[in-house]
Homo-oligomer: A and B are copies of this chain.
């Protein structure tokens, strides 16, 4: 029987790359009166369900991060397996 497993991929902008969404949210917070918020950085994550017995599945996950989920020029990613 083939089981499933989950992996979560977190994609964030590399340090130094401008994050307009984060900046906009931060400005909105200040305008709403939340003065204790110093900065906001935004990111995306993807919850993947994969076949546990897939061929070299960890390598496949890493591959799709670089090929599809993240833009390696400006983004970094990390994978959390469970």
Contacts and interface: CB of A to CB of B under 8 A. Distances in A.
A82 to B, nearest CB: 14
Interface in A34-71: 34-51, 54-55, 57, 60, 64, 67-69
A50 B22 contact: no
A32 B10 CA distance: 21
User: How many copies of the shown chain assemble into the complex?
Assistant: 2
A29 interface: yes
B46 A45 contact: no
Interface string A1-34: 0001000001010000000001001001100101
Interface of A: 4, 10, 12, 22, 25, 28-29, 32, 34-51, 54-55, 57, 60, 64, 67-69
